[in-house]
Structure 1
């Protein structure tokens, strides 16, 4: 069997110790813990003040959208088991993060789908293919993330995914029941503006920033060329690194999925000379389309 060298990336021996240190999972990721407390606590306080009439519902809708957006790293690093060394604590962080903006989706189904994306990036078995399509369809695709995953699972009938799907259906039923009960009690507008609309707006932001932009050039599969299947975004790092939650270095994440997100910058600095010798797609600044850099 022929091994495709482009589908692999070998870290030089002299840099492996430094890389291993960057990949080390802490007792509790300070980034995850900070975002979890700030985002979850912020949403709870904002909701209480809005229900009591101290906050305008429209402005709180926007505030909750902003606060919920930061739960992506909480859920995502938990999926990759890099939120905490203890796996029960790691998953607890993930469950809380998911419950804040997407209680209808189980952590298990999100983990399964995302790991499939890493295994089959840009290929026919990548569930994130749902995130790509005609430009006019993109906001709807991003806002209906769970529908895309559901269709993918029902089409492929993966036994592990089907098992996790049962948990998601239970979550969805409980979420729907709570929303219906609150609406019956006269809080329907609160459900709409404090959770449903912010949740969908966050899905659009997450779909765009983390699922679509790093793979806007999706015609190269990772099995064909690992470093050309995912982009790097270089420039304006002072702004884009926090806004993208370190996923402007998305190629680093695909090379080392269990690395805590806040270590991506150091990993790029460590391995940039070697990566510059590979085929790369680089998005400069705020550009959408990447510039292709082919190794010579």
Structure 2
């Protein structure tokens, strides 16, 4: 019997593809810093390499959030913390926010609604709302004491690195080789994960996330153009999205999953996101 994406058991061993991304990410980051220190290339190239490395970080921490790296919780937490660190963001806080996005997909209180309720080029104007959501989250803090300590240590490590760079006269280098690439990677991630899959779609299990089935986009965004597959089967690893899309295409069409074949077309933000439409299924 051929198992479908729905019937496959949860992971029992480590996901070596995600672990390889984690290693590649840090190899690129540290290698880029070392090369810049000893034999610098044009600055723009260093910035792009660092941005590419941090681009890999999203998939690493995202898999950890959904416990797809290992059956051992501590491994997922460790990989998530390491994967999130280049973003300078507390992992356990972001994990909770991301899981709220899954629970409240495209509803008014979906934390990711800020990315889709206006034109993408105005997204910078909506970023303060994300900080406001994080502030409200901290007010009722759902994290365990250990998770709060881990997040605090992560923030302290980032502050210590920047303080050390300032004292050592390398602050400008750190801003150019870390902070600027984070901003570039964040903009890219917001486009292919938060905006492209959800803009203009309703609060619905099947109709709330689109697939953009474009071959050249798949390797660039590590398969996240099949984001509807992730929302339907969060326990499926990122490197199997396209395979399962092909396998379950008829079912996806029957349930009205939006499937598109062009990347650059005009997509309109929904005028109203329903706060009451339940997630079916």
Counterpart for residue 25 of structure 1: 11
- The two structures, once aligned, show a CA RMSD in angstroms of 2.5
Counterpart for residue 112 of structure 1: 96
Deviates more, 1:20-29 or 1:31-40: 20-29
TM-score computed with the length of structure 1 as normaliser: 0.80
Deviates more, 1:282-291 or 1:59-68: 282-291
Task: State the alpha-carbon separation in 1 of the partners of residues 122 and 26 from structure 2.
Answer: 31
- Answer whether contact 2:6 2:233 (CA < 8 A) is retained: no
Q: CA deviation at 1:264?
A: 1.3
Structure with more of its chain in helix, by fraction: 1
Counterpart for residue 233 of structure 1: 212
Q: CA deviation at 1:161?
A: 5.4
CA 1:129–1:165: 2 relative to 1, 3 Å:
farther
Task: String of CA shifts for 1:102-153, please: whole Å, max 9, x gaps.
Answer: 1x31221111010000000111221111223432422454xx5xx5443113
Q: Equivalent of 1:130, from 105, 108, 114? A: 114
Task: String of CA shifts for 1:76-116, please: whole Å, max 9, x gaps.
Answer: 101110012222222222222112x21x3122111101000
Task: State the alpha-carbon separation in 2 of the partners of residues 126 and 54 from structure 1.
Answer: 43
**Equivalent residues in 2 for 1:34-53 (5 A)?**
34-53=20-39
Structure 1 stretches of at least 4 aligned residues deviating more than 6 Å after TM superposition: none
Aligned length: 265
Is 1:172 matched up with 2:149? no
Task: State the alpha-carbon separation in 1 of the partners of residues 55 and 48 from structure 2.
Answer: 11
Q: Equivalent of 1:159, from 141, 164, 177? A: 141
Q: CA deviation at 1:158?
A: 3.5
- Answer whether contact 2:228 2:257 (CA < 8 A) is retained: no
Task: State the alpha-carbon separation in 2 of the partners of residues 148 and 79 from structure 1.
Answer: 22
CA 1:28–1:167: 2 relative to 1, 3 Å:
closer
Contiguous gaps of at least 5 residues in structure 1: 1-13, 292-296
Task: State the alpha-carbon separation in 1 of the partners of residues 141 and 184 from structure 2.
Answer: 31
